[in-house]
Amino acid sequence: MGAPRIPASVIAERLNSLDRSAFQEIAELLLECAPTQGAIVALAEKNPDRWGQLVALVMRLRGFNEKLEVQASVAHTINGLSDAELAERIEQFNVLFDYKSNGEDDKPQ
């Protein structure tokens, strides 16, 4: 099976609109070719530095990062946040604005 081909104009259009679907087919293909657990263990033993880079990359994809964020106001630019960071921020606001503690009458309709 060959790599999926998407016309450059379609890719440009999707990227300009921040649509990630341009990468969906290739991501599926790459994930189908994932190494076995034994191959990962062999990589870790033979090249611990490359294994460490792999772990760091996968953890960033998972939403973890080493950034120290200090914010003094409610206003925040969300386009720099990962999906995990955005979900965490939404949960923080949900807790902050817990309407149930004020009674159901105060809940916006």
pTM of the predicted model over 0.85: no
What's the alpha-carbon Rg for the chain, to the nearest Å?
A: 21
Q: What is the pLDDT along the chain (109 residues), one digit of tens a residue?
A: 676 677 888 878 877 787 777 678 778 888 899 999 999 999 999 999 999 999 999 888 888 877 766 665 555 677 778 888 888 888 888 888 875 555 555 545 5
Domain boundaries, the chain: 1-34
Burial readout 79-98 (b: 16 or more C-beta within 10 A, e: otherwise): eebeeebeeeeeeeeeeeee
